[in-house]
Amino acid sequence: MRLLLDTHAFLWWVADDERLSPRAAALIAEPSNEVLVSAATAWEVVVKSALGRVEVPTPVDRFLTAQIEANAFIPLPIHMRHALGLAALPQIHRDPFDRILVAQAVAEDLTIVSRDRVMGGYPVTVEW
CA angle 58, 40, 14 (to 5 degrees): 50
Strand order in the sheet with 2-5: 74-76, 34-38, 2-5, 111-113, 126-127
Predicted local confidence at residue 8, as pLDDT:
97
pLDDT in tens, 103-125: 999 999 999 999 999 988 899 99
Domains observed in the chain: 7-127 (3.40.50.1010)
pLDDT in tens, 24-76: 999 999 999 999 999 999 999 999 999 999 999 879 999 999 999 999 999 99
> What residue spans of the chain are helical by DSSP H?
7-14, 22-29, 39-50, 60-70, 80-85, 96-108
Peptide bond into 123 cis (omega under 30): no
The pLDDT confidence band at residue 9, using thresholds 50, 70 and 90, is very high
Q: Coil, helix or strand for 71?
A: coil
Considering the entire predicted model, what is its pTM? 0.93
Predicted local confidence at residue 116, as pLDDT:
94
